[in-house]
Structure 1
Amino acid sequence: MTGMKVEGREGTEDPMNTDDNVVTNSYKLLDEVAVSLEQKCILHICGQRSGKSVALGLSDYSLALYDVCNLHSVCSFPAHTSTITDVKFSSKNEHLLYSSSLDGTVKVHDLRSKTCVAELKDDSEGPSMLKPISSFDFSSDENFGSAGTELFDGDAFVLFWDIRTSKLLGGYWESHTDDITQVRFHPEEKNKLATGSVDGIINVFDISKQCEDDALAYCLNTESSIDKLHWFRGMGSTFNISCITHTEELQLWEIDGASPFAHFTREDIAGILKDDTVDNTYLINSHNQEDGGLLIIAGYSSLKR
């Protein structure tokens, strides 16, 4: 596994398809633990801000919590009745954990009692017609939550709740034409939301507006199915968006840009990692660096390495 630190745009003549502004560091495995001896897969992993714990969403629809220091299992418990699609720790309360699922629910779990203390869902079509939730996020003040859905009766929905009351506030259903894979609130502006979809479109909304047409502020066409989105700070105070596609490409966007200001293909990533076989290369995720820049976690599955 390798970390690629992407520096800001300044200081390079052409940031497109070049590794002049990329610094790489390799990471080696120090320790490991088997989550289960059964045939379970880890679908999602999320770290606590304090660095104490990681939460796992497993393929048997359960959640597990591990202590980071010694990889000790803290607890595990059943959470959903279908595939878990997102896991997030509360930013306000270290004892609360959010999880979303294709069963149509976002659940808030109290890790002390291992129980669900709140449930967010859209049951407007009836209790047996919940929309399959594919991604979830909460606003910077954690008062509001948003979720994206897979196609449901021909539409892909962006749903909104008041987390404090679990009340469904409404939704958008005209801005995407295929499964929504990502919803990500701006880290500082609580009314700004980015969404990504299999349709290749990144939409940026101002959710303080009264209707969907007015709320849609920017529309970015990646021309590829979107896997992950992440807000990151550029050289100044402006936040940009990193996009990882299902074809293992990395695109970096200013939200008002007509095209990405940096674009790394799978071949580019393989070249940076010095991996001879492009098909072995994959992107994992992106993270903010405390000293600036964007950390991209990538890897390769070549057996010879």
Structure 2
Amino acid sequence: MYNLSCIDGHHFSSQQDVYVLDIQRLGAGLAAISSDQKLSLFNPARLGHGPIKSYPTSHGNLTCLKTFDWQNSIVCTAGENGEVSVWDMRESSKPQVAHFAVGTEFQNHMASVLLWDIRAGPTQRLQYDEVHSDDVTELRFHPSEPHILLSGSTDGLVNVYDTRISDEDEVVIQTLNQGSVHHASFLGNTEVYVLTHDEKLAVYSVAEDHGSGAALVDFGDARETLGCQYIANVTTKVDGSGAIVGAGSQDRQLFELVHLSRTADGGWGFDRANSVGLPGGHGEEIVRSFCFYDDEQVVFTAGEDGNVKAWRPN
């Protein structure tokens, strides 16, 4: 393991404690949402100067930040009021062409997956009401096939859909059963990872010629495997080389980034020898989110201590 040093940061100050809930890399800078119900944009090279922009949101309880188009700096936010807001974080805006999907909490005996085509305005394109039996916690589009959608739920299921199909009885093309889903996403064209709320991590194949069922690799409780107290998130690499697992230890005040990558035999494993340590982390508080700029060799973290931090090699 080699260590990075904290070289810059910003603290969200308020009369009440503020958690930084998520951060996302954009072309225009670094976007963040915080428990004071704000969406902020930072210059990643000047965190200490504070946000370039900061917008109050109207979600009641802001819970979600997702990148819609990172190059054009379009993000979506959502919360407990049931609305999705689309934000252009640039100075100027232009029409966008794409789809996005939303999953709901379990209410009135339903947990729905909703899809829009933003070219058509606020009108829904599709709605699936019977694909999950509890809160939908994760949605991810396929990296190269935009009609393929993955969803995860606290009902323990990960579903893969062909959204060109409107018939709800036919739309699910793969189902995996791992446990209450915290995070899940595509690792490439044919494989996905699933991280459960009790920190169990596994990799599955969703290839057409591979039947649903057993995981390709089941790591069990990732806290035991990685020697940590919690898993903050798993972030897939844009070059398709796997993912980065963010592992935190409050007792040791350490946050570690571990590469989940292909092994020599074609499986998946943790590259512990080349893991990256962030000594001090966010103190005894939990790291909620992280992202990285490989070209600039900088990592950003956000935590329940109200800080956004930048880390570089010594």
The Cα of 1:64 is off from its aligned counterpart by 1.0
The Cα of 1:114 is off from its aligned counterpart by 11
2:201 aligns to what? 250
Structure 1 residue 65 corresponds to structure 2 residue 41: yes
Normalised TM-score (structure 1): 0.72
The Cα of 1:304 is off from its aligned counterpart by 6.8
Structure 1 residue 162 corresponds to structure 2 residue 125: no
- Output one character per residue of 1:234-289: Cα deviation in whole Å (capped at 9) or x when no partner: xxxx33111111111211111244121112233x543434x5xxxx2334222216
Secondary structure of 1:270's partner?
helix
The structure-2 alpha-carbon separation of the partners of 1:291 and 1:28, relative to structure 1 and needing over 3 Å to count, comes to farther
Structure 1 residue 102 corresponds to structure 2 residue 58: no
Distance in 1 of aligned mates of 2:38 and 2:72: 19
Correspondence 1:221-300 to 2 at 5 A: 221-222=177-178, 224-233=179-188, 238-255=189-206, 256-266=211-221, 268-273=222-227, 275=228, 280-288=229-237, 290=239, 292-300=241-249
Distance in 2 of aligned mates of 1:289 and 1:160: 24
Q: Which has the higher contact order (CA 8 A, sep 6+)?
A: 2
Contact 1:249–1:265, Cα closer than 8 Å, also in 2: yes
- Output one character per residue of 1:169-218: Cα deviation in whole Å (capped at 9) or x when no partner: 23111111100001111111111000000001000000101211111101
1:152 aligns to what? 107
Correspondence 1:98-137 to 2 at 5 A: 98-112=76-90
Contact 2:236–2:243, Cα closer than 8 Å, also in 1: yes
Distance in 2 of aligned mates of 1:94 and 1:220: 34
The Cα of 1:96 is off from its aligned counterpart by 2.8
The structure-2 alpha-carbon separation of the partners of 1:178 and 1:27, relative to structure 1 and needing over 3 Å to count, comes to farther
Contact 2:234–2:243, Cα closer than 8 Å, also in 1: no
The Cα of 1:90 is off from its aligned counterpart by 3.5
The Cα of 1:30 is off from its aligned counterpart by 3.2
Of Structure 1 and Structure 2, the greater strand share is in 2
Contact 1:289–1:295, Cα closer than 8 Å, also in 2: no
| Cα root mean square deviation, aligned | 2.7
Contact 2:182–2:195, Cα closer than 8 Å, also in 1: yes
Structure 1 residue 74 corresponds to structure 2 residue 88: no
The Cα of 1:112 is off from its aligned counterpart by 4.6
Moved more, 94-103 or 289-298: 289-298
- Counterpart of 1:195 in structure 2: which amino acid? S
1:55 aligns to what? 31
- Output one character per residue of 1:56-106: Cα deviation in whole Å (capped at 9) or x when no partner: 111122211111112131111112232223213332762432212221111
- Counterpart of 2:230 in structure 1: which amino acid? T
Normalised TM-score (structure 2): 0.70
- Counterpart of 2:37 in structure 1: which amino acid? Y
Structure 2 spans left out of the alignment, 5+ residues: 255-314
Match of 2:149 among 193, 198, 223: 193
The structure-2 alpha-carbon separation of the partners of 1:303 and 1:95, relative to structure 1 and needing over 3 Å to count, comes to closer
Contact 1:285–1:298, Cα closer than 8 Å, also in 2: no
The structure-2 alpha-carbon separation of the partners of 1:92 and 1:65, relative to structure 1 and needing over 3 Å to count, comes to closer
Contact 1:207–1:215, Cα closer than 8 Å, also in 2: yes
Question: Sequence identity of aligned pairs in percent?
Answer: 25
1:209 aligns to what? 165
The structure-2 alpha-carbon separation of the partners of 1:291 and 1:111, relative to structure 1 and needing over 3 Å to count, comes to closer
Structure 1 spans left out of the alignment, 5+ residues: 1-23, 119-140
